[in-house]
């Protein structure tokens, strides 16, 4: 790729990861083993939960969480509409119904008033998403959950290191689910993690993650129809090295986000990310909201011509063919999510960027918007 091309995201990897992986390759023990156990311990300690279990992805972490909670046919699960489809897909895979909830346009997170209005006798759980590294309003969500007897599974895919009133995301609900995809703060290539404080849930996660088998004297006894959701020691080795960098990565991304705020101040065509009173944003992505009259997709194309990679924020699920066909959603039903889907724009942000890169992106953004007009 052209060295002058500003990428959307780039993981921060150096010899530390290479050395950790080499130690696994040298050992000859490549599947789930001691590195996975160490990585899990590091994450549990960082999040402040009793347990953490590595999985193949955040998607399988979410799916396993639903299985552990017994979510199944005819149950309803409340899901924010503005999210990557995996958040709702796992509900469908359990033959349950994802009930899509509108968002707060300022935070891109689930709107708690719309959330409570959609609770029914069939509702069993809420999956709040901590969008782009900003915590959802967990106090309000937990009050609703307690009032109606609902489970809470945090979709913290973008939020390792994010906090809500200084408490780490992933430590509030029955379970928290993290992603280590390369666009996240830290990566294992692909991979995920479930955190929990429940002894009962921990035992079920441990059992179901590994084919439903319990090992003794070199053989398994299979007590459940489980899954192969195990992380390899190669991936965990990368994760161990990445955990040593996590605080520095978050600090640097916050510094770069501050540079964006400074340069975009007063540019009325763009709304910068809002940080509410609970704070704790880690800026996994720096997502702005363009004016309603601006063709956001044209901005993306223009910036690509300038050698700058950008993309939409994420998806409004009710606009996607599967959800329209299966649940008969109309485009006007969730207006904030629809607006975010049409007008949000993710700008490049990663550890190795510098101020000159920020200047170039902002200049490119302004020129791209001015080029198309309103």
Query: What is the CATH number assigned to the segment(s) 246-372?
Result: 3.90.1150.10
**How many CB atoms are closer than 10 A to CB 109?**
24
Statement: the pTM of the whole predicted model exceeds 0.85: yes
Six token digits for residue 213: 């088998």
Ranges 56-70, 313-327, 360-374: which has the least confidence: 360-374
The pLDDT score that the predictor gives to residue 87 is 98
Confidence of residue 348 (pLDDT cuts 50, 70, 90): very high
Q: Give catalytic residue positions.
A: 184
- Percentage with pLDDT > 90 across the chain: 94
- State how far the Cα of 278 lies from the Cα of 162, in Å rounded to an integer: 11
- Residue 189's contacts (CB-CB under 8 Å, 6 or more residues apart) are 180, 182, 235, 238
- Percentage with pLDDT > 70 across the chain: 99
139-190 pLDDT, tens digit each: 999 999 999 999 999 999 999 999 999 999 999 999 999 999 999 999 999 9
Mean pLDDT computed over 311-330: 97
pLDDT at 3 over 80: no
Q: Which sequence spans correspond to the domains of the chain?
A: 15-240, 246-372
Provide the β-strand partners of residue 155. Answer: 129, 177
Average pLDDT, the chain: 96
Six token digits for residue 120: 């029914």
The CATH number, out of the four listed (3.40.640.10, 3.40.50.150, 1.10.10.10, 2.30.38.10), of the domain defined by the range 15-240: 3.40.640.10
């Amino acid at each position: 790729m052209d060295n002058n091309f500003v990428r959307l995201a780039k993981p921060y990897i150096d010899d530390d990861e290479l050395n950790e992986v080499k130690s696994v390759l040298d050992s000859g023990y490549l599947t789930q083993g001691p590195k996975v156990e160490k990585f899990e311990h590091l994450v549990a300690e960082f999040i402040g939960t009793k347990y953490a279990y590595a999985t193949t992805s955040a998607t399988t972490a979410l799916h396993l969480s639903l299985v552990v909670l017994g979510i199944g046919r005819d149950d309803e699960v409340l899901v924010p509409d503005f999210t990557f489809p995996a958040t709702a897909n796992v509900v469908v895979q359990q033959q349950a119904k994802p009930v899509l909830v509108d968002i707060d346009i300022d935070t891109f997170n689930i709107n708690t008033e719309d959330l409570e209005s959609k609770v029914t006798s069939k509702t069993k759980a809420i999956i709040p998403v901590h969008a782009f590294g900003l915590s959802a309003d967990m106090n309000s969500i937990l009050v609703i959950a307690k009032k109606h007897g609902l489970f809470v599974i945090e979709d913290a895919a973008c939020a390792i290191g994010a906090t809500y009133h200084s408490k780490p995301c992933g430590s509030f609900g029955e379970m928290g689910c993290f992603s280590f995809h390369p666009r996240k703060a830290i990566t294992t290539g692909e991979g995920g993690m479930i955190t929990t404080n429940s002894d009962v849930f921990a035992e079920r996660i441990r059992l179901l993650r590994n084919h439903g088998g319990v090992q003794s004297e070199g053989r398994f006894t299979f007590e459940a129809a489980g899954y192969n959701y195990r992380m390899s020691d190669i991936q965990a080795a990368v994760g161990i090295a990445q955990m040593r960098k996590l605080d520095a990565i978050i600090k640097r991304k916050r510094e770069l986000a501050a540079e964006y705020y400074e340069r975009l101040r007063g540019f009325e065509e763009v709304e910068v990310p809002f940080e509410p009173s609970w704070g704790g944003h880690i800026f996994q992505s720096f997502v702005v909201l363009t004016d309603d009259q601006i063709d956001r997709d044209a901005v993306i194309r223009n910036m690509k011509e300038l050698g700058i990679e950008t993309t939409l924020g994420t998806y409004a699920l009710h606009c996607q063919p599967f959800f329209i066909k299966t649940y008969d959603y109309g485009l006007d039903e969730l207006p904030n999510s629809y607006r975010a889907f049409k007008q949000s724009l993710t700008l490049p942000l990663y550890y190795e960027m510098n101020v000159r890169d920020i200047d170039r992106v902002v200049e490119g953004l302004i020129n791209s918007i001015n080029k198309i007009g309103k």
